[in-house]
Amino acid sequence: MLGEHPATAKRIAELFVKRFDAEDLETAAVATLVSTAAAEYVSTSGDLGATLRVVLHDPLFVKGAYYRAKVKRPFAFMASLFRALGEGAEGGSETRFAGHEHGVPSQSNKSFRSLGIYFSLLDESPYQAVPPIGYQDDSKVFASSGGILVRSNFVKQVMVNWDADWVSKWEFLPTELDDNAVLLDKLIDRFLPGGIRRTSVVAGQSTRDYVLASLDAEWPAPSATNANLRIEHATSVLLSTPEFLLH
């Protein structure tokens, strides 16, 4: 049968490794992992769970060169964005996607009605893939400057159009809102649980230093009255950083 063919084992192993570990399948260490995973698939008569465990337990899964080095596909990016902002867990997304809040027409959250447009711009419209194998699972496809710009613009649109009082909605925020550094660190803890990559730089600065400098430049006198604007700005930038766009 097809499921028992050696080519099936190799193909499934390649898909698992490319999705969870590394995309450069020609590298010796990666090729070895593919062979090991394929052998596990054959020896367990096609047990996908056992095959995946081989992939996830391999040192490559957390190796520096491959750890959090894959650009999120558009669907994964959208899902992680709304999950980070706290939407969908309580079933609120149905009304928001329709552009309504509690059944009342609203002009807020217009960005949700534009999801289809953004998926199209990012070349991953749901159920529209022409090849039978679906969309490519390759970071190079989604890492173009144009693609990253579309993601950043979408994040900004979501934040600007969201009809919400951040200070009252997000309980994780500090009680005192007059310190940009304290506020930023709380937002980083919330949205970037994997931490800031100290080696990554923007204009010669770490991600945190860059965002903090932009906050201090725009709001040199932070206070509770401008807290929502500062939160909107910092969140928009953090959700557009490599730390959030990669997984």
The DSSP secondary structure of 41-57, one letter per residue, reads: HHHTTS-HHHHHHHHHH
By mean pLDDT, which of 19-28, 99-108, 125-134, 206-215 is the weakest?
A: 99-108
Longest Cα separation, the chain? 70
Query: Which pTM value belongs to this model?
Result: 0.74
Average pLDDT, rounded, for the chain: 79
Residue 134 pLDDT greater than 80, yes or no: no
User: Dihedrals φ, ψ of 72, to 5°?
Assistant: -65, 135
Structural tokens at position 10? 């190799």
Separation of alpha carbons 188 and 199, rounded Å: 16
What are the residue ranges of helices labelled H in the chain? 6-20, 28-43, 48-57, 74-84, 93-97, 110-113, 115-121, 139-142, 145-161, 166-169, 180-191, 207-218, 227-238, 242-245
pLDDT at residue number 99: 38
The radius of gyration of the chain from alpha carbons, rounded to an integer in Å, stands at: 21
| Res. 8 pLDDT band, cuts 50 70 90 | very high
pLDDT tier, 180 (very low <50, low <70, confident <90, very high otherwise) = very high
Q: Is the pLDDT of residue 98 over 50?
A: no
Give the separation between CA 238 and CA 164, rounded to whole angstroms. 18
Burial of residue 206 (CB within 10 Å: 0-12, 13-18, 19+) is: middle
State residue 221 phi and psi, 5-degree precision: -120, 75
DSSP secondary structure letter of residue 72: P
Rounded average pLDDT over 123-134: 76
